[in-house]
């Protein structure tokens, strides 16, 4: 594992291939939870945890169970079951330890189960890191790193969006544009801005 590869994964997942602003995955919680910075930060941390842990479990199962048994075609259903298990754990933990936060996240917390960004990063990992001759161990490590930085990118997008939407509450926005319409416009402009990172060379 090289430091340059880790740096490349970090920059790619946070800026260049941001799952929300470049791949347009996970837009439901992005638009639903980004009204307040506190709930956006909490959702971001939850997504980072789920993505990282799910990547560890799914990549290990893919490398040491599905590939040796030649049942790679079961990866999608296997990955969904693992992700659902982690989301249920987080939901129970937050509901017990922070009921106000649980109410603030609302329906978007269990929706992490079907968040296509979480499933997308696990599938991207298997497509990217398990075709090389480096061995399954290095593939698992790179998968976890990629999922972690993808979660960081997800959180960065959420926090940026929540900060902008909080300021928009104080702005003189036309009545017909308030709420979801202006949120879509802001998301589009953010996506255009993040396209500039595609010119990075390192």
| Residue 158 scores a pLDDT above 90 | yes
What span, in angstroms and rounded, lies between the C-alpha atoms of 63 and 65? Answer: 6
Question: What pLDDT, in 10s, does the model give residues 38-64?
Answer: 888 888 888 888 899 889 999 999 999
pLDDT of residue 200: 64
Place of tokens 């982690």: 86
For residue 177, give Cα distances in angstroms to 20, 26, 59, 62. Answer: 22, 23, 43, 46
Task: State the CB neighbour count (10 A cutoff) for residue 15.
Answer: 18
Q: Which residues of 82-119 are buried (b: 16+ CB within 10 A; e: fewer)?
A: bbbebbeebbeebeeeeeebbebbeebbebbbebebbb
- At 114, is the pLDDT very low, low, confident or very high (cuts 50, 70, 90)? low
Q: DSSP letters of 46-111?
A: HHHHHHHHHHHHHHHHIIIIITTTT-GGGHHHHHHHHHHHHHHHHHHHHHHH-HHHHHHHGGGTGG
Whether the CB-CB separation of 121 and 55 falls below 8 Å is answered with: yes
Model pTM?
0.85
| Residue 104 scores a pLDDT above 90 | no
Question: What pLDDT, in 10s, does the model give residues 118-138?
Answer: 889 999 988 888 876 666 788
Q: 3-state DSSP: the chain helix, strand, coil percent, rounded to 5?
A: 80, 0, 20
| The dihedral sign for the CA sequence 86, 80, 49, 26 | negative
């Amino acid at each position: 594992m090289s430091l340059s590869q880790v740096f490349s994964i970090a920059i790619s997942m946070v800026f260049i291939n941001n799952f929300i602003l470049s791949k347009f995955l996970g837009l439901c919680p992005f638009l639903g939870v980004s009204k307040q910075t506190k709930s956006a930060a909490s959702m971001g941390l939850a997504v980072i945890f789920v993505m990282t842990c799910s990547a560890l479990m799914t990549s290990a199962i893919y490398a040491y169970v599905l590939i040796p048994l030649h049942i790679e075609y079961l990866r999608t259903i296997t990955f969904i079951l693992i992700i659902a298990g982690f989301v249920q754990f987080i939901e129970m933990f937050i509901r017990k330890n922070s009921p106000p936060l649980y109410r603030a996240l609302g329906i978007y917390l269990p929706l992490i189960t079907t968040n296509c960004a979480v499933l997308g990063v696990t599938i991207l990992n298997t497509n990217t890191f398990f075709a090389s001759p480096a061995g399954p161990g290095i593939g698992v490590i790179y998968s976890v790193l990629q999922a972690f930085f993808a979660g960081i990118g997800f959180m960065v997008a959420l926090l940026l969006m929540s900060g902008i939407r909080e300021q928009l509450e104080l702005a003189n926005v036309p009545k017909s544009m308030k709420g979801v319409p202006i949120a879509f416009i802001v998301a589009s402009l953010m996506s255009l801005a993040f396209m500039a990172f595609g010119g990075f060379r390192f």
